[in-house]
Chains A and B, each alone.
Chain A
Amino acid sequence: MRVTVKLFARLRDIAGSPELARDVAPGATIGSVWRELAREFPELARYERSISSAVNTDYARMDHVLSDGDEVAFLPPVSGG
């Protein structure tokens, strides 16, 4: 199945794109999509514990199981003021 990955702030810079499409196996979770991305873009790995994630505009945890066509968003915290 296919999911769309949306990346924000620094994560977008690292991956060089705000949006990626990825084929994933049935049963894939937000966490497994993230780890796959982190293998592709190793610099992402250190953000794992700090990011929040969402599926189809709802905040969701890393163990959330994805469905075909889902949009997964990864957001690092930002602190500027």
Chain B
Amino acid sequence: MPRILIPTPLRPYTDKQDAVDVAGATVGELLADLTRKHSGLKTHLYNDQGKLRSFVNVYVNDEDIRYLQKEQTPVKSEDTVSIIPSVAGGVETAAPAPPAPPRGSALTNDEYKRYSRHLIMPEVGLDGQLKLKAAKVLCIGAGGLGSPVAMYLAAAGVGTLGIVDFDTVDFSNLQRQILHGTPDVGRPKLASAKDRLNALNPNVNIETYETALTSENALKLFEPYDVIVDGTDNFPTRYLVNDACVLLGKPNAYGSIFRFEGQASVFAMKEGPCYRCLYPEPPPPGLVPSCAEGGVLGVLPGLVGVIQATEAIKLILGTGEPLIGRFLIVDALRMKFRELRLRKDPACPVCGTHPTVTKLIDYEQFCGIRPAAPEPVAVNAATEITSTELKQRLDRGDKLIVVDVREPHEYQINRIPGSLLIPLGDVPKRYNELDPDLEIVTQCKSGVRSAKAADFLRSVGFKKVLNLKGGILDWVDKVDPSQPKY
């Protein structure tokens, strides 16, 4: 007869037994037999709909049944079944969901009307709506992902919504950052966000933090919040958000986007993996393009941000199956949603069994962004040229050739007259088109790709290669404002 191991918090309901012999061929049958023998367990294991509660994890031997056949998982007589509640101490809420709404808290008549479509669903209802009202969610970033996240959470009635951002609204944001409108260009994103969210739902308390998230302020900022939503746009902040969430035991509703592709998951729950379990090492700087460098479909952050908002609401309600241990990949171009199963890495430096990262570190350095020692200025001076210098030299008729290493669709938008287009990826194949005796100026949008091209050309023997500092953007600013910027 298989036996079920009972964790300490549930032993009061099994006459203090730490194991119970039960009959059945599947996990579901065993649990049914267990609750027949010890009926007090029933409400702890099952919800009102008779479904196994989401925070009750069941293992057959060492395997989580979520990765087997769930409650249909077959069990042989020699197997050991363990019940592992995700929260120690027998607390009945789903992990770090906010505490039950304080006594006396209630909805106003206006709120009853506003949330009526929530109130009539059993999964939310009045209890759920009060949980949302008592909940505090912190949004990192008020950009592409932060926009739909903040708007839907405010509309849903999350009581306190914090937003961390220090940017101002730019025209290039408007294609996707729907918190901000055309009249907001030039305003701080937080001011614009606050106006928009207040108009959407004046019942929500909007807390704004006009600061960069740093290792110094992250723990203090996160502390009062129940769920953190990562909508940032760079790797150092992503690792910082992850580590701070793990250290504080707060769930991280994660989302990230690139061109037509998005990723989403819920990290840093006690029983689940964290971002570092998936990506232990950050990519070297420059390897993975940002949205500014690589572009992004404007609708995509809407798709992914709404998944993050959905997960935040489920965590608050303690309902459904959160994206814990599941990594969702959204391919908007082919409209495919794929899911990878992730497990907690016992060797993870933050959430593993023997963590080596026990406080926040320098994430810029971790991601290799801040060099140990600044490069001597003299070297830069010899390898770079400014837009105004280039203009003077071209006007003077100096024999030099400008190599634009951007992509053809960028070249269509703006260009330096007379420049030769060789996209960065083609430079190794086409550099022999260039006269090695001529002086070469490499140029791209902002100067990052062209610096790589310049390094490459020098490495294959070109003697006089200069990189245009600040790229075409600086050229348009300083030399030719008649051309468009992007």
Contacts from A to B (Cβ < 8 Å): 8-10, 18, 43, 46-47, 49-50, 52, 54, 57-59, 73, 75-81
Contact = CB atoms under 8 A, between A and B. Distances in A.
Contact of B278 (A49, A52, A73): A52
Given A9-B259, A46-B287, A77 B279 contact: yes
A49 B141 CA distance: 28
Nearest to B283: A50
A59 B235 contact: no
13 contacts: A9-B261, A50-B284, A50-B287, A50-B288, A59-B342, A59-B343, A76-B283, A77-B256, A77-B288, A79-B233, A79-B238, A79-B258, A81-B144
A81 B283 contact: no
A79 B234 contact: yes
A6 B253 CA distance: 26
With most chain B CB atoms within 10 A of its CB, the pick from A18, A43, A59, A78 is A78
Given A54-B340, A59-B342, A80 B257 contact: yes
Contact of B340 (A9, A49, A73): A73
B278 A79 contact: no
Contacts of A47: 283, 287
Nearest to B261: A9
B258 A81 contact: no
Interface stretch (B17-25, B117-125, B290-298, B472-480): B290-298
B336 to A, nearest CB: 10
Contacts of B233: 79-81
B162 interface: no
A49 B281 contact: yes
Contacts of B238: 79
Interface in B9-29: none
A8 B330 CA distance: 10
Contacts of B230: 81
Contact of A78 (B261, B327, B340, B425): B261
Contacts of A49: 281, 283
Nearest to A12: B261
Contact of B341 (A43, A46, A50, A57): A57
A75 B288 CA distance: 12
A35 B461 CA distance: 29
B368 to A, nearest CB: 11
B85 interface: no
B405 interface: no
Q: Which 7 A-B pairs have the closest CB atoms?
A: A78-B258, A50-B283, A81-B233, A80-B291, A80-B257, A81-B145, A81-B231
A79 B340 contact: no
B256 A46 contact: no
Nearest to A47: B287
B255 A79 contact: no
Contacts of A10: 258, 288-289, 294
Interface in B413-459: 425
A80 to B, nearest CB: 4
A52 to B, nearest CB: 5
B279 A50 contact: yes
B11 to A, nearest CB: 34
A14 B388 CA distance: 35
